[in-house]
């Protein structure tokens, strides 16, 4: 029985704890200007933080568009975004 519990710990619980530590470190290291993606797939740049504990992030998603999201909604950091590579696709109505 102890062997089975040890296997479960090594295969499931320990890797999850490592992933959680990595994500927590990434969230703590966020700073103004970081390029991020949210858990909803929205890409943006951190324009600032809101609140005393900085639990909310002001995310700039376009020139005149900002969103406020919880820090926990940030899925990860991405490389810098070059707007010159952005292609606008026009649709016909």
In order of their start, the domains of the chain are 2-80 (2.30.30.140)
Share of residues in the chain with pLDDT > 90 (%): 52
| Rounded Cα distance, 64 and 47, in Å | 12
User: Are 50 and 57 contacting, i.e. CB atoms less than 8 angstroms apart?
Assistant: yes
Task: Check pLDDT > 90 for residue 39.
Answer: yes
Task: Check pLDDT > 70 for residue 18.
Answer: yes
Region 53-60: what's the mean pLDDT?
92
Name the pTM for this structure. 0.68
Task: Check pLDDT > 80 for residue 24.
Answer: yes
Q: Which residues contact residue 4 at a Cβ distance below 8 angstroms, ignoring those fewer than 6 apart?
A: none
């Amino acid at each position: 029985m102890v062997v089975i519990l040890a296997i479960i710990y090594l295969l499931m619980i320990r890797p999850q704890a490592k992933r959680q530590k990595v994500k927590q470190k990434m969230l703590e290291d966020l700073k103004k200007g970081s390029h991020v993606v949210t858990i909803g797939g929205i890409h943006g740049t951190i324009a600032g933080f809101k609140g005393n504990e900085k639990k909310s992030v002001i995310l700039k998603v376009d020139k005149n568009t900002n969103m406020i999201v919880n820090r926990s909604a940030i899925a990860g950091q991405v490389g810098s975004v070059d707007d010159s590579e952005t292609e606008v696709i026009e649709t016909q109505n």
